[in-house]
């Protein structure tokens, strides 16, 4: 790897934005923010060539901390917005970012159908296992019995088995990274952007203020990069993804490029070289009218 020194290509500086970061010291968002910019640069993309869509949460505050065409929308709803945007212009790479609260509570239905529809977008889960921006309430990925804001006795519900759930949806791309490992996240994100369909990227991140169980040190100690793993082996990938008790496997865990994505499956779009954006012109409906006489 390495950043291209060729002056014609994009640089990290091109994505630089003057706004100051507002995350807590030690927040995992810094690492992810850096890895995203690096992945875009290494993919040879200029800011004007991408659309970055953010959900609501601490990660959503990235929306004005880098350049690129960006969108910062409603809580839980980033996937359908990003999918609609992508279908409109297949030439623009679209990345969507959401936290564990947005993706596994408020907008879980969209995650299910995003994977099921296999939209050709990259979805990055900022997984800090709690609601940071609203000051530390439990999410469905918070460990059970943890005492959290609004749950002084610990959450009564059990923790959602997120990876088992994701694999039950027959995804075509699953990867996991850790906010302390920027080079690996960069590699994962670049591969995710190249993926044919819906790429699910789970980035485990520290929340130094509210998450006192899966801390940066905890993750640093347990996360390891998988080596020699056959990413086409669904069963093995699922095992690696689910078994996180002692060690946490990171890297690209599963990829299946044989499945056409949503747009490829749309019969009316077969063989069309133009995008929906390019097709906004007055359409003649004489033929359709004739059938109604």
Partner 1 sequence: MNRVSLKIVGASGQGIISIGEILAKAFKRSGYCVFGYREYMSLIKGGHGSYQIDVSDRMVRSSEEKVNILITLNHHGFEENLNDLKDGGIIIHDSPSWDFSPADEKLLKKHNITVLYLPVGEILQKIKAKPILGNVVFSAFAWSACGRDTDLLKKMVGEKFAKKKDLLEQNMQAIDEGGAYRMQHASDFAIDMPHPDDKWSDHLLLTGSHAMGLGIVHAGVRLYAGYPMTPSSPLLSFIAEIQNETGMAIKQAEDEITAAQMMSGANFMGTRAITATSGGGFDLMTETLSLDGIIENPSVFVLAQRPGPATGLPTWTAQGDLLLAAFGGHGEFARCVLSVSDSDDAFHLVNDAFTIAEEYQTPVILLTDKHIAEGIYTQKPYDQKKTAIKRGSLVTNAAELRTLKSTDRFDPDVPDGISKRWLPGSEAATYVAQGDEHSADGSVDESSVNAIAQMRKRMKKMEAMKKALPEPVLYMTGENGNVELSPKNDKLDLLVVGWGSSIGAIQDVLESKALQGKRVGYLHYQYLWPLKTERLQALMDMAKKTIIIEGNAQAQLAMLIRMECGRSIPEQILKFDGRPFFLNELTTTLSSRMK
> Contact residues for partner 1 (CB under 8 A)?
17, 19, 46-51, 53, 56, 61, 63-64, 67-74, 77, 80-89, 91-92, 109-110, 112-113, 263, 266-269, 272, 275-277, 279-289, 292-293
Locus of tokens 């699910």: 200
Nearer of residues 74 and 220 to partner 1, judged by Cβ:
74
223 forms beta bridges with 248
Least distance between partner 1 and beta carbon 102 (Å): 13
* Nearest in space to 13 (alpha carbons), one of 37, 33, 43: 37
Least gap, CB of 263 to partner 1 (angstroms): 7
132 or 177: CB nearest partner 1:
132
CA distance linking residue 221 with residue 234, whole number of Å? 26
Task: Indicate the DSSP class of residue 233.
Answer: -
Whether 104 and 140 have beta carbons less than 8 Å apart is answered as: yes
- CB of residue 264 to partner 1, shortest distance in Å: 12
Q: Which is nearer to partner 1, 15 or 210 (CB)?
A: 15
Least distance to partner 1, CB of residue 47, Å: 5
* Least distance (Å) between residue 10 CB and partner 1: 12
Q: How many alpha carbons lie under 13 Å from residue 183 in its C-beta half-sphere?
A: 4
3-state secondary structure of 36: helix
Q: Which is nearer to partner 1, 42 or 55 (CB)?
A: 55
DSSP E strands in the chain: the ranges are 51-54, 69-72, 94-99, 122-127, 173-178, 199-204, 223-225, 248-255
Query: Which residues share a beta bridge with 43?
Result: none
Q: Give whichever of 62 and 250 is closer to partner 1, judged by the CB atom.
A: 62
Q: Closest approach of Cβ 161 to partner 1, in Å?
A: 22
Q: Which is nearer to partner 1, 91 or 245 (CB)?
A: 91
In the complex with partner 1, the residue whose CB is nearer, 7 or 286, is 286
| Minimum gap (Å) between residue 282 Cβ and partner 1 | 5
Q: Which is nearer to partner 1, 46 or 229 (CB)?
A: 46
The CA–CA distances, whole Å, from 160 to 110, 133, 224, 226, 288 equal 16, 21, 23, 24, 50
The distance of closest approach from Cβ of residue 35 to partner 1 in the complex, given in angstroms and rounded to an integer, is 19
In the block, tokens 């609501």 appear at: 56
Burial label for 215, CB within 10 Å (0-12, 13-18, 19+), is: middle
């Amino acid at each position: 790897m390495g950043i291209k020194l060729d002056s014609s290509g994009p640089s990290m500086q091109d994505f630089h934005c003057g706004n100051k970061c507002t995350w807590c010291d030690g927040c995992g968002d810094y690492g992810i923010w850096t890895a995203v910019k690096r992945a875009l640069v290494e993919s040879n993309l200029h800011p004007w060539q991408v659309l970055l869509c953010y959900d609501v949460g601490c990660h959503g505050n990235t929306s004005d901390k880098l350049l690129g065409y960006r969108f910062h929308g409603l809580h839980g709803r980033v996937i359908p917005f990003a999918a609609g945007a992508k279908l409109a212009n297949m030439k623009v790479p679209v990345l969507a970012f959401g936290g564990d609260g947005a993706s596994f509570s408020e907008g879980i239905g969209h995650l299910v159908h995003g994977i099921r529809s296999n939209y050709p977008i990259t979805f990055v889960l900022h997984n800090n296992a709690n609601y940071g921006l609203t000051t530390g309430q439990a999410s469905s990925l918070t460990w059970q019995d943890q005492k959290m804001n609004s749950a002084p006795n610990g959450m009564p519900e059990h923790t959602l088995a997120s990876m088992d759930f994701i694999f039950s949806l027959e995804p075509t791309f699953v990867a996991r990274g850790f906010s302390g490992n920027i080079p690996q996240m960069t590699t994962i994100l670049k591969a995710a952007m190249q993926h044919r369909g819906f790429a699910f990227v789970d980035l485990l991140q520290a929340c130094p203020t509210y998450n006192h169980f899966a801390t940066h040190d905890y993750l640093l100690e347990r996360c390891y990069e998988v080596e020699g793993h056959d990413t086409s082996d669904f069963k093995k990938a699922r095992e690696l993804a689910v078994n996180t008790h002692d060690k946490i496997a990171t890297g690209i865990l599963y990829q299946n490029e044989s499945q056409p994505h949503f747009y490829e499956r749309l019969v009316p779009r077969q063989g069309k070289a133009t995008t929906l954006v390019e097709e906004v012109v007055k359409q003649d409906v004489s033929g359709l009218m004739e059938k109604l006489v």
